[in-house]
């Protein structure tokens, strides 16, 4: 068919008008004398020859469109599978963290509310967080907040669905701590919103690498929550005290989830101390 098509084109392009006229006249006479089935076959073959290039082009275009559509579908499916893998990985990590949380429930015997961090304070140093749990979830002011690594801070404001957390590095937060081995009590604070400093009696013999935990004094934080380790020990203005740089167990900038301990402040302790 392709050869016949080329032959017809050459007749016209080379301007052999007489030959072309005679050729088509002869074909017309033959078709007139030929049976109907033969004429239909010749017409069908001629049309197929004429439209063959167009059919090839259309078929190629459709094939390209089909491949493009399939490629797009595969890209979308790949993106969906990647997202599902990510969510599965995040779910496994969260499950592991919640599994570890059982230890805290057994140790302090207080209900615990799991919360996600949804906001940070915009200041130079990170001193407050916002979590997605509030009074509608049982969260109240002055409830302790911790993570799997250790103490985070406390609730300073509880709205209906969200709460503000005052971090351990906030200069306005003072904390009574206990050195784990010597059992000597001191206090911990931050003077610049970034570094933690502890004051411990000199006779305790606290040294670099020792661990500090919450003492349980003050009525807000229960006893035994890990706080941090001693990085350096220096002399203070008082001979009976030692000043210490403390590295918290929790890196506050990387917090994603926290746990609020539903422990209300024991105000009776403070009242008794004020009466003395």
User: pTM higher than 0.85 for the full model?
Assistant: no
**Placement of tokens 């559509």 in the chain:** 69
Could you give the percent of the chain with pLDDT greater than 90? 34
**Secondary structure string (H, E, C) spanning 175-195:** EEEEECCCCCEEEEECCCCCC
Q: What is the mean pLDDT of residues 170-198?
A: 90
Predicted pLDDT of residue 41: 61
Q: How far is it, in rounded angstroms, from Cα 38 to Cα 32?
A: 10
pLDDT tens per residue, range 240-275: 888 999 999 988 988 888 999 998 887 665 555 555
| Closest residue by Cα to residue 171 from 198, 193, 199 | 193
Q: What is the mean pLDDT of residues 46-64?
A: 59
Domain 112-265 has CATH 3.30.300.30: no
Token pair listed for 29: 């006479």
Highest mean pLDDT among 9-18, 19-28, 137-146, 235-244: 137-146
Q: How far is it, in rounded angstroms, from Cα 109 to Cα 251?
A: 26
Predicted pLDDT of residue 109: 76
pLDDT tens per residue, range 23-40: 556 666 555 565 655 555
Domain boundaries, the chain: 112-265
Predicted pLDDT of residue 131: 95
| Residue of 185 and 98 predicted with greater confidence | 185
**Average model confidence (pLDDT) across the chain:** 77
* Residues whose CB is less than 8 angstroms from the CB of residue 199 and which lie 6 or more positions away in sequence, other chains included: 186, 187, 188, 236, 241, 242, 243, 244
**Secondary structure string (H, E, C) spanning 74-95:** HHHHHHHHHHHHHHHHHHHHHH
Q: What is the mean pLDDT of residues 46-67?
A: 60
Predicted pLDDT of residue 160: 95
pLDDT tens per residue, range 109-120: 788 898 999 998
Predicted pLDDT of residue 186: 92
């Amino acid at each position: 068919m392709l050869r016949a098509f080329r032959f017809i084109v050459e007749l016209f392009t080379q301007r052999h008008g007489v030959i072309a006229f005679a050729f088509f006249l002869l074909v017309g006479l033959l078709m007139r004398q030929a049976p109907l089935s033969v004429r239909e076959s010749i017409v069908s073959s001629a049309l197929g020859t004429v439209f063959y290039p167009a059919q090839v082009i259309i078929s190629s275009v459709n094939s390209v469109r089909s491949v493009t559509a399939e490629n797009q579908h595969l890209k979308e499916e790949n993106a969906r599978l990647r997202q599902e893998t990510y969510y599965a990985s995040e779910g496994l990590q969260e499950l592991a963290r919640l599994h570890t949380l059982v230890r805290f429930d057994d140790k302090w015997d207080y209900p615990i509310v799991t919360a996600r961090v949804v906001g940070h304070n915009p200041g130079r140093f990170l001193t407050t967080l916002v979590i997605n749990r509030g009074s509608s979830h049982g969260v109240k002011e002055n409830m302790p907040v911790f993570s799997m690594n250790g103490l985070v801070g406390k609730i300073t404001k509880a709205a209906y669905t969200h709460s503000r957390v005052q971090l351990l590095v906030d200069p306005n937060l003072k904390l009574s701590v206990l050195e784990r081995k010597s059992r000597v009590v001191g206090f911990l604070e931050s003077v610049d919103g970034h570094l933690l400093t502890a004051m411990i009696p000199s006779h305790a013999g606290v040294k670099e690498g020792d661990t500090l935990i919450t003492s349980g004094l003050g009525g807000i934080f229960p006893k035994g929550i890990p706080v941090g380790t001693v990085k350096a020990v220096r002399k203070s203005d008082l001979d009976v005290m030692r000043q210490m740089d403390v590295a918290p167990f929790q890196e506050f900038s990387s917090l994603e989830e926290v746990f609020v301990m539903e422990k209300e402040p024991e105000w009776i302790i403070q009242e008794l101390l004020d009466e003395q």
